Structure 1
Amino acid sequence: MPATTHTRTRTGRTLAGLAGLAALIAIGLLANNVAREMQSLRSARSDNAQWSLAQTEVEFLDFVNAVNLFEEPPDRIRRRFDIFYSRVNTIEVAEVYEKLRQSDQFASQLALTRTFLNEAVTIVDLSDEDFIAQQDALKTLAQDARTTVRGLSNAGLSIFAANADRQREAVAGTVAQLAVALVVFVGALATSILYLNRLNTINITRERAQKEIATRMNTVIETSLDGIIVSNDYGEIIEFSQAAEKIFGYAAAEAIGQDVAHIITPKTVQNEQRTGLQRVSRGGLQHMIGAGRRRMDASRKDGSVFPIELSIQAAELHDSKIYVVFVRDVSRVVAAEQELVTARDAALEGEKIKTDFVATMSHEIRTPLNGLLGNLSLMQDTELTSQQDRYMRNMETSGRLLMSHISDVLDITRYDAGKLKVTTDPMNISILVQDIIDNQSAMAVSSDTTLRWHWIGESRDWVLSDPDRVQLVLINLISNAVKFTRAGEVLVTAEIGDNNATSSDNIVFCIQDTGPGMTEELANRIFDDFVTGNAAFDREVGGTGLGLSIAKRFVDALGGVISVETEVGKGSVFKVILPMPQAEKPVDVYATPKTVPPSTILSILLVDDNDINRILAREMLENAGHKVVEAHNGKSGVEAAAETRFDLIFMDISMPVMDGRTAARKIRSGHGKSAQTPIVALTAHALPEDQAAFKEDGMVATLTKPLSKNSLLDVLRSTELQTVPDAETRDQGDVYRSKAYGKMLKRFISETDSFVEWSQTSSLPLDDIADQAHKIAGSAATFQSKAFANSLSDLSVAARAGEVTFVGHALQELPTEWQDTKRGLLERS
């Protein structure tokens, strides 16, 4: 029953009771008034005041008659006078006549009567002779007083009559009030009876409804597939459904009164889970109440442990709570989930096997291809005719393109695993497209197809993007258009933005051909893996069907959109929209450097803590005819510079014991023999603010790792040393042509393997991580592993800055990145 209904019922009963009580009190008071009035009436009759007044007049008349006749002896006349006198005295002093005496009329008549008595008593008290002698005087007095006595009697009777009337009216009014009160009381009783009868009817109806609700609830509880357990504040079970009986194996009679935690939780984990369930009943684990289902282990009566899903709800009673526990046996669900997990693991294992197979096959293909490209490179160093040189360059271009395709197959796996990384570098998009057009021109000519391209509207040559990914996307689309077009036209256009583009940074490429086109069904899946077109197309052209799927992945990775519009017999139009912000043309810092005579032999101090970097740099410098002295850290470099005068000092920036900036300041501020020697900074990253700081430390230039022979020689030849950018853009082959390359690579792989294994240890100091990551980053840059070097540099910077979250994520990804990098290094070797 709702609380408001209880309140209304209690209020109605209280009001009915108060009304009845008020009626009873009123009846009692009125009855008491009637009783007093009746008692007053009874008291007036007993006193017989009116009779006494009348009798006073009678006695006075007896006295007057006796005086007038004077036949009686004087003593008898005196006795009659005394009776009258006594009556008057009584009227004057009796309490019953008090109200009469308060009347002016009665009081005046009483006073005249007293005057008569006082005058008459002087005669009555005389001796018999004198009394008889004064007979006439007494008669006169008596005759005069007769009117007074009658007036006294009449006045008293009138007052008594008026009082009687008032009393009767009062009694009548009280009786009327009593009657009204009785009517009200009877009405209240009737109303109360009706109200109580209504309440009784409501209670009967409500009781019937409650019984129906209870029956429905019991039916729901007993037919529910979930077990329902109800406990009180103390955790004692007060309800135990049939489903709960089936789930736990206890009969309801066994479970009721038991501790809910004892029934549900297994013995092995009872302490923890029972504590939690018991805390629910004490209000300590409120977050479980109404928080949905929670999975846990439970035990049956036979002791077997099984998984359940449990949820708890609380309900407020008058001064306590009950807790309803819904329990579901999820043994089958858990078993099904385990089967799914097993199937998933098997699928992942199969995916891993596929990935490993692709990687292995790629490596096996790369090995002979590397040999082919290496021999082509050697042949280019021999004497060739112009025609042979052109053929060699075409062969090398095709070989490197094939190598790129092999790498792209690996990129599919990296993309699907979320590990494909793109770079953002300045690139000349016009030159890139023109190179692709030139590369595909021979095939177009053989198919009697016209291949051309142009900008629509304003052109934008230098942009920021990933040159390798963009090249692969465009070469796939253009080569496909050329392959499928016979005696037709392939038109490639580029446009800054379009009517639908929201950013002016976008460039829209359209590759339009007059080939056979595609059906709608084929167009809908053309970007899927291994889709090669219809059977007719397959008879004329080959392919694995991966080109467009790889292109789609790369476009997605670059943040762009690729689409196709086609119609059978009318050709196809592939559209690619890529974000390509405008970029400045890079400055060629190598233009016409001022040089020193090549015969000059320089004495050079090389300060670097990385053995591989030192070996490579020393070999390059010594091959150029210069003398090199090595120092393993900044402190050793300062000591060597103080003892020997060098012509040039190469100073690594990040080193243990003493970093390069500190060492440069000490050399400049000291009085050693090389205090004025030019110092060139060696670093993996050289931001403008870093270069400014290096100059403040006394360094005259910055050389960016990885080192190359040309970049070193440019520094040596320069009379005004400047910042020399990434050597990767100058000479990618220096490190590979080094005589000690194999030994250095083996050492680098060993060092990096140890570092990666060490990095997976828990609780490593951030400073140690920063130092080791920086050291390996320098070696990685030397071996042209730019992506891996950048990752290590980022890790080092984050560790220096105390960014624990970034460091943890980077260390987690490090083994995978290193395996990919190592595979590439071994393949290149």
Structure 2
Amino acid sequence: MFFTILPTNRKGRGIAFVAGLVAAGAIALLSYNVSREIRLLGSARSDNVQWSLVQTQVEFLEFAQEIERDPVDLTKLRQEFDIFFSRMRTVNEATVFEALRADATVRQHLADLSRFLDEAVRIVDVPDAVVLQQIPRLGMLASEILPTVRALGNSGLDISAIAADSQREKVARTLTQLALAIAGLIGMLLLAILYLYQLNVRIYRRERENKQTSTRMSTVMGTSLDGVIVCDAQGLILQFSPAAEGIFGYAEKEVLGRDIGAVIVPDHMRKAHDAGMERMRENGEKRVVGKGRVKMEAKHREGRVFPVELAIQSAMTDEGEIFIAFLRDISHRVAAEAELVAARDKALASEKLKTDFLSTMSHEIRTPLNGLLGNMLLLRDTKLNPLQDRYVGYMETSGRLLISHISDVLDITRYDAGKLSTRSRPVNISALLQAIVDNQKSTAAHNETSLHWRWIGQNVGWVLSDHDRLQHVLMNLIGNAVKFTRRGKVSVTVENIGQAQNAELMIKITDTGPGISADLAERIFDDFVTGNAAYDRVAGGTGLGLSIARRFVHALSGEIGVDSVVGEGSTFWVRLPVVQTEAPEEPIADEMALPLTRSLDVLLVEDNEINRMVAREMLVAEGHSVTEAHDGPQGVEAANGRRFDLILMDISMPLMDGRTATRAIRSGDGPSKDTVIVALTANVMVDEQQAFLAAGMNSILTKPLSRNALRTLLSQTSRLATDEETNMINKSHSDETREALGEEAFVKLRSRFVTEVDEYHEWLISDEARDFLEIAARTHKVAGSAAVFGADELRKILRAIETAAKAGNITRIRANVAQFTASWTATKSQLSR
């Protein structure tokens, strides 16, 4: 039983083997000791030490008797002497007497006897006559040594008795040790038997657990939805689960022992599979094993290839390393993912189509609106009777309303596309609310409704927020409250519910109107939702106002909601985080508002005849000369023919669009290569406008064309043209810098300056929100570089931008940025001369 069970447990086998060696060694050592002691006892009996010592006395006495005999028989005398001599020699030399000789007294007796024998030899071994003469002396010597002989015998008896006692004690002690060792061995054997019993129980339990585990694994493999394939290191299949049978179409008995590559690996992947198996066998490289789930292709019994998700793990067994593959047919999932990707692409395409549609419709609607409103603007310059003037006013109002609706739709598109940006600048909440309330006073009076606003608690004053977005939200909410309330009351309250500098405004607009049902309140901020969709409704609207307000509030990191009771009224509220700030400095007079210094030669590139006529009449009315081009190629040809002060470039034109025409002018060597080119477009999408600037245009005028915007542009360009007639560069200052640095260093530094200003210009005109301090810091740096090269005019404009940024005056910044764009174009042209 021991040797049957022991090999199943290496640790137990090692312990038992060591214990057996220790026990066997102890017993062997003790047995040897007992045997040696017994041999020593037996040797003492055979030699008969005590008899020899007694015999020594007897033989000495017989020698002494021969000395006293008369007459002396010399032959007998010599014979007895030799016997005694021989006996003493044995005592002195025999091994058995070693213990005796170890005693100091015995050694002294033996020394005395040795001296006696030496003297007796000199008397006995001489001629007979001499011996006879020495007999008396020999008798005297014998008498003297007799006590020593007796003492030697007595000492031997004592020592032998002591040695025998000691030997018996050793034997008894050895036998005791042997008994203890045997008892210990028996105890160890009992422990070993107990341990082996426990080991046997454990092995039995483990075998039972292994059997249960095997049964569970078989059940799992049999019921698993994933196919399970077990292979050895050679790639031969050892197990093939029922799920694998269903996935690949093989029965387990058909594939056992076959190479897995030939069974499930597609033909076009077989070479790579075989190479991977070979690498793994040669150097253990595993590229898929233990790497989690991977997507691959597999081959069905029928030969078709389909996608699978595969995970492989390895394990060591007594037969060597095995590999367990878990496979799942993902054909349906891949098909679903492909459908999902197709749906996503379709949705993205639809979104792009929607954006393109809105952009196109914006352009297509704004283009005729530009002609309509422009002609009405020109019509106002003529003499009109009161009725005609009223009709023109109605048309202008309708046109502006249509423009407002278009802007609302574009704002929704920007927000949903994540491109709706906000600009933080100082806003006086009190002034903003007062202006809105004043604007709505007439409507409230017409509806016989009272309208007022007030602060709850401390007045916050100036905060950083987006003035235009906030104004749009509050105008919509207050306007709706006034519009739907008849003979009632509209009150606006604002309260700071935040702390310290981190203010948080709670603005509530409460009315006593008809109220909103719970169902409508849940979707009132959705697109195209109105309180009443009937044709006879009292108030009109597209249903986009509140949805745009919600988007604007979210863009400002705020919340918006409504609480309403039908028949009692509604309360719309806006919760908006803001940062308190100081009131900005009063803006200085805008230099760009100065009158024109001279008339300009303008090239107008526009394919729409009505829009071209409107722009031409506006330009001529301002005192400028106009050259017209009907499309892009004509515009490029005209610009390459002579120098213009300003080019107004339409974007959407046949044959060649405005961006292509601008790039052609900028890349050519014509006299208008560096002329200010302004996009004249109905497209107000931010990304499109960025593309216009990237194409080389300096600024943008949106349609419908505003006379004020056109006048501002003409004023800027006129002043720039006047400056160009003088110099944009302080020549003496630039020459001093060139002389101080040297020609080569000056050229390198000038090139770096041009790059720096171009990057600053691109950064400044981008639509991303900028922090005022960041604008001031970067502008200050560029202004310092401009001073080095004597760009005094450019530096002056940059200082104005810096001052406006420090004051938080966004209007002033925008005006100076437009001036900077034109100034930099001229400065860069003169800088390279």
Equivalent positions of 1:106-125 (< 5 A) are 106-110=106-110, 111-112=112-113, 115=116, 118=119, 122=123
Compared with structure 1, are the counterparts of its residues 261 and 387 closer, same or farther at alpha carbon in structure 2 (3 Å cutoff)? same
Equivalent positions of 1:737-776 (< 5 A) are none
Preserved CA contact (<8 Å) 1:232 1:322: yes
* Alpha-carbon distance in structure 2 between the residues aligned to 1:717 and 1:143: 167
Higher relative contact order (CA 8 A, sep 6+): 2
- Which residue identity is paired with 2:29? L
- Could you tell me how far 1:622 is from its partner in structure 2? 11
- Which residue identity is paired with 2:181? A
Preserved CA contact (<8 Å) 2:603 2:626: no
Segment of structure 1 superposing worse, 161-170 or 79-88 = 79-88
Equivalent positions of 1:336-735 (< 5 A) are 336-338=336-338, 340=340, 380-386=380-386, 389-390=389-390, 392-409=392-409, 411-413=411-413, 415-418=415-418, 444-451=444-451, 465=466, 467=468, 473-474=473-474, 476-491=476-491, 498-500=496-498, 510-533=508-531, 540-541=538-539, 543-557=541-555, 559-576=557-574, 587-589=589-591, 593=595, 620=619, 624=623, 655-656=666-667, 682=676, 710=711, 714=715
Equivalent positions of 1:33-52 (< 5 A) are 33-52=33-52
CA offsets, 1:520-559, max 9 Å, x none? 3332221123433379998655555443224323443455
Preserved CA contact (<8 Å) 1:113 1:148: no
- Which residue identity is paired with 2:667? P
- Which residue identity is paired with 1:515? G
* Alpha-carbon distance in structure 1 between the residues aligned to 2:602 and 2:292: 68
The 3-state SS of whatever aligns with 1:572 is: strand
* Alpha-carbon distance in structure 2 between the residues aligned to 1:528 and 1:93: 131
Residue number in structure 2 paired with 1:187: 187
- Could you tell me how far 1:109 is from its partner in structure 2? 4.5
Compared with structure 1, are the counterparts of its residues 786 and 624 closer, same or farther at alpha carbon in structure 2 (3 Å cutoff)? farther
CA offsets, 1:160-207, max 9 Å, x none? 333333333333333333333333333333333333333333333333
Aligned length: 675
Preserved CA contact (<8 Å) 1:633 1:655: no
CA offsets, 1:13-43, max 9 Å, x none? 5454334323322332333333333333333
Preserved CA contact (<8 Å) 1:262 1:274: no
- Which residue identity is paired with 2:300? R
Preserved CA contact (<8 Å) 1:261 1:278: no
* Alpha-carbon distance in structure 1 between the residues aligned to 2:386 and 2:130: 205
Residue number in structure 2 paired with 1:294: 294
* Alpha-carbon distance in structure 1 between the residues aligned to 2:359 and 2:720: 49
Residue number in structure 2 paired with 1:268: 268
Segment of structure 1 superposing worse, 480-489 or 501-510 = 501-510
CA offsets, 1:182-241, max 9 Å, x none? 333333333333333333333333333333333323332332211223445565544432
Preserved CA contact (<8 Å) 2:602 2:626: no
- Could you tell me how far 1:270 is from its partner in structure 2? 4.5
* Alpha-carbon distance in structure 2 between the residues aligned to 1:422 and 1:649: 34
- Which residue identity is paired with 2:220? V
Segment of structure 1 superposing worse, 328-337 or 385-394 = 385-394
Compared with structure 1, are the counterparts of its residues 710 and 214 closer, same or farther at alpha carbon in structure 2 (3 Å cutoff)? same
Compared with structure 1, are the counterparts of its residues 42 and 83 closer, same or farther at alpha carbon in structure 2 (3 Å cutoff)? same
Residue number in structure 2 paired with 1:170: 170
The 3-state SS of whatever aligns with 1:398 is: helix
- Which residue identity is paired with 1:682? V
CA offsets, 1:465-519, max 9 Å, x none? 474x6665455434432342222233456x5x73248877987764432201123
- Which residue identity is paired with 2:565? E
Compared with structure 1, are the counterparts of its residues 54 and 610 closer, same or farther at alpha carbon in structure 2 (3 Å cutoff)? farther
Segment of structure 1 superposing worse, 178-187 or 581-590 = 581-590
The 3-state SS of whatever aligns with 2:326 is: strand
Segment of structure 1 superposing worse, 7-16 or 604-613 = 604-613
- Could you tell me how far 1:95 is from its partner in structure 2? 4.8
- Which residue identity is paired with 2:52? S
Using the size of structure 1 for normalisation, the TM-score is 0.63
CA offsets, 1:123-150, max 9 Å, x none? 898769996x999998877677655543
Preserved CA contact (<8 Å) 2:230 2:240: yes
Compared with structure 1, are the counterparts of its residues 520 and 44 closer, same or farther at alpha carbon in structure 2 (3 Å cutoff)? same
* Alpha-carbon distance in structure 2 between the residues aligned to 1:130 and 1:510: 161
The 3-state SS of whatever aligns with 2:496 is: coil
Segment of structure 1 superposing worse, 52-61 or 709-718 = 709-718
The 3-state SS of whatever aligns with 1:655 is: helix
The 3-state SS of whatever aligns with 2:211 is: helix
CA offsets, 1:613-665, max 9 Å, x none? 999899957994769999x999x999989xxxxxx96799993356999x99x
- Which residue identity is paired with 1:568? V
Residue number in structure 1 paired with 2:655: none
- Which residue identity is paired with 1:298? A
The 3-state SS of whatever aligns with 2:44 is: helix
Residue number in structure 2 paired with 1:309: 309
- Which residue identity is paired with 2:223? T
* Alpha-carbon distance in structure 1 between the residues aligned to 2:431 and 2:103: 143
Task: Let me know the Cα RMSD of the aligned residues.
Answer: 6.1
Compared with structure 1, are the counterparts of its residues 88 and 392 closer, same or farther at alpha carbon in structure 2 (3 Å cutoff)? closer
The 3-state SS of whatever aligns with 2:595 is: coil
Compared with structure 1, are the counterparts of its residues 503 and 127 closer, same or farther at alpha carbon in structure 2 (3 Å cutoff)? closer
List gaps (5 residues or longer) in structure 1.
1-5, 597-601, 642-647, 665-680, 686-701, 724-770, 779-784, 789-829
- Could you tell me how far 1:250 is from its partner in structure 2? 3.1
Compared with structure 1, are the counterparts of its residues 36 and 536 closer, same or farther at alpha carbon in structure 2 (3 Å cutoff)? same
- Could you tell me how far 1:155 is from its partner in structure 2? 3.1
* Alpha-carbon distance in structure 2 between the residues aligned to 1:22 and 1:168: 27
Equivalent positions of 1:137-216 (< 5 A) are 147-216=147-216
Compared with structure 1, are the counterparts of its residues 639 and 464 closer, same or farther at alpha carbon in structure 2 (3 Å cutoff)? farther
Compared with structure 1, are the counterparts of its residues 152 and 369 closer, same or farther at alpha carbon in structure 2 (3 Å cutoff)? closer
* Alpha-carbon distance in structure 2 between the residues aligned to 1:577 and 1:527: 15
* Alpha-carbon distance in structure 1 between the residues aligned to 2:459 and 2:109: 143
Using the size of structure 2 for normalisation, the TM-score is 0.63
Preserved CA contact (<8 Å) 2:293 2:311: yes
Compared with structure 1, are the counterparts of its residues 682 and 461 closer, same or farther at alpha carbon in structure 2 (3 Å cutoff)? farther
List gaps (5 residues or longer) in structure 2.
1-5, 648-661, 680-696, 702-706, 725-754, 769-833
Preserved CA contact (<8 Å) 1:447 1:485: yes
Preserved CA contact (<8 Å) 2:116 2:145: no
Compared with structure 1, are the counterparts of its residues 477 and 316 closer, same or farther at alpha carbon in structure 2 (3 Å cutoff)? farther
The 3-state SS of whatever aligns with 1:245 is: helix
The 3-state SS of whatever aligns with 2:30 is: helix
- Could you tell me how far 1:97 is from its partner in structure 2? 4.0
Compared with structure 1, are the counterparts of its residues 81 and 176 closer, same or farther at alpha carbon in structure 2 (3 Å cutoff)? same
Residue number in structure 1 paired with 2:17: 17
* Alpha-carbon distance in structure 2 between the residues aligned to 1:566 and 1:537: 24
* Alpha-carbon distance in structure 1 between the residues aligned to 2:362 and 2:603: 40
The 3-state SS of whatever aligns with 2:514 is: coil
* Alpha-carbon distance in structure 2 between the residues aligned to 1:74 and 1:461: 158
Compared with structure 1, are the counterparts of its residues 421 and 232 closer, same or farther at alpha carbon in structure 2 (3 Å cutoff)? same
* Alpha-carbon distance in structure 2 between the residues aligned to 1:618 and 1:446: 40
- Could you tell me how far 1:386 is from its partner in structure 2? 4.1
Compared with structure 1, are the counterparts of its residues 436 and 283 closer, same or farther at alpha carbon in structure 2 (3 Å cutoff)? farther
* Alpha-carbon distance in structure 2 between the residues aligned to 1:657 and 1:392: 45
